[in-house]
Amino acid sequence: MRLPAAVFAVALLIASATSVLAQSGEQKQETKPQGAADAAKDEKKKADEFAEAARVLTSSAGHPECVWLGRRVVNLLWRDDLDTAFRHLDLYDRFGCPGGHIQTAFRCVVRLGNIDPKAPDSLNARVHGCWINPAGQQATAPASVASPPQATGSSAPQPGGNPQ
């Protein structure tokens, strides 16, 4: 009596596990084409960014390996992941990339102020903009990045300044 009940219970478990696995496999197949399109779009964007860096930067900072590692170092420095940043910096130096470009790009990122944590690509966009043009001003910051208010030309006195 116990043996048939045990066999029936095991068969039921196997059948339910098989149907669950089949359902999850169908969901993965449905989302795969969208993921492939997103991946292709990301690859195109990365290739465009590397091509832009090679066109704009005349030094070795425009080489793809320097762009990839350098932007990664600046990003990690901003996020206070110093251990990982220093490991990447060792690779950056090993490839013969200019160390001064890291410094000026990071200075640019810091100088432009806080980054909106709700916009996940804002840090990457700012790092890329500062990598391409480290001496750039507010024009390199994407629109989603919080920036300090600009003077509107009003005659109201500014804090800490002399009235005009």
> What residues does each domain of the chain span?
43-140
Q: What is the mean pLDDT of the chain?
A: 74
Alpha-carbon separation of residue 37 from 33, 49, 123, 124, 147 (angstroms): 6, 18, 23, 21, 33
Q: In the structure, how many helices (H) and strands (E) does the chain have?
A: 5, 0
Is residue 143 predicted with pLDDT exceeding 50? no
pLDDT value of position 84: 94
Alpha-carbon separation of residue 101 from 71, 122, 141, 158 (angstroms): 10, 20, 18, 35
**pTM strictly above 0.75:** no
